Amino acid sequence: DAGVIQSPRHEVTEMGQEVTLRCKPISGHNSLFWYRQTMMRGLELLIYFNNNVPIDDSGMPEDRFSAKMPNASFSTLKIQPSEPRDSAVYFCASRGQGASNQPQHFGDGTRLSIL
C-alpha cells in the first residue's frame, strides 16, 4: 500500500518567495492533517480537513499560510510570502473513515529552509 506522499522532500528558497507543499493522502482516507515540526515547538497542527472541507485552521500561524484540498487525493499548503521563521519540517497525515479513534498516518515530510 502506498503511504502518504509528500513533495518536494526538500525546499530551499529565499525570503519573500512563494512556497507550495503538496500532499497525496492514502487512498480511501477522508481526513487530512498538516503539521509543522520544529525543535522549539515540537509537532504543531496547522489545519485539518474532513471530506475535503477545512474543519479547524486555528493552528495556521497567519494569513501568509493557506491550505486547500480540491479533491480527496490532493492537498496543498502555501506560504506567501515566506520568511526565515517558517523554516521547519512540514508533515501531512491522513486518517481513515469509519469508527472513531482511527490512527493518523504520516508522510515523510518536506524540509523547508527559507534563507
Q: Is 12 in the site for other proteins (CB under 8 A)?
A: no
Q: Are 30 and 51 in contact (CB under 8 A)?
A: yes
First-to-final CA distance of the chain: 36
**In the complex, least distance from residue 38 CB atom to other proteins, rounded to whole angstroms:** 11
- Give the contact letters, 25-44, x = binds to other proteins (CB under 8 A), - = no: --------x--------xx-
Q: What is the Cα 48 distance to its own chain's centre?
A: 9
Residues of this chain, 41-100, that bind other proteins according to CB under 8 A: 42-43, 45, 48, 56, 91, 93, 100
Q: Are 73 and 25 in contact (CB under 8 A)?
A: yes
Query: Residue 33 or 65: which CB sits closer to other proteins?
Result: 33
Burial of 82 (0-12, 13-18, 19+ CB in 10 A): buried
Which residues lie near other proteins (CB under 8 A)?
4, 33, 42-43, 45, 48, 56, 91, 93, 100-101, 103-109
